Structure 1
């Protein structure tokens, strides 16, 4: 299997304190400012919920979402895309981790997403899913600074 489809990593500097950035990546109301259109979950480890992306026809495509870890203001991790009714675990979901490091008056955010190879998919499906997630994070991660500026107001 192609190892290059193992992890997506992004890094961005945000001109806001780690406490603000943590809220932006963990609190459902702030998360909606930069990522999904809908977010229904508690930012507490072990809590499950869902996030939704609005389609062109106005319907919402829901994805399952489970908080794995929350260590304010340093780290927030969740699993997503597992089937409804299933407990999120390695092999049925992607793991996304946001690590926050203070840098001057701002924050260095490191995002990783893993779990592509563990899904049991064919190489072609892994490549397709990986590429779709790369495109997604390339669109959504650059929206974080504006969301942090809005949250800091």
Structure 2
């Protein structure tokens, strides 16, 4: 029995992981880890205690940094329907130790494996895969036909 553990911190769920057998002994694991959307996570209009944002005011076609305003003022300005204005936050990561993007590994097995009995589980960013070896009794000797030239 082979046991594989693949760390995928920040993975959304099993829908972000693909596993395929490329041949009888090569397993491909491919996962997509998405970037964190700061706007969606921290700047919803349901909470009054949001971080300060830098607002960009667009008066016509030229964009200028007008002033720093809180998210609450930002929302109030949007609700009042200020004509010709556009408010966009410029939140940026101060520290980001998380990798995002596509992860891919090919795992080659030295002996024959039972690809129909593989089991996989995902728990807290850890992908665990059990790959059973083929039973030695199940392996059949096959004769190779030799043609005369």
TM-score, reference length from structure 2:
0.26
Greater length-normalized contact order (CA 8 Å, ≥ 6 residues apart) = 2
TM-score, reference length from structure 1:
0.26
Larger radius of gyration: 2
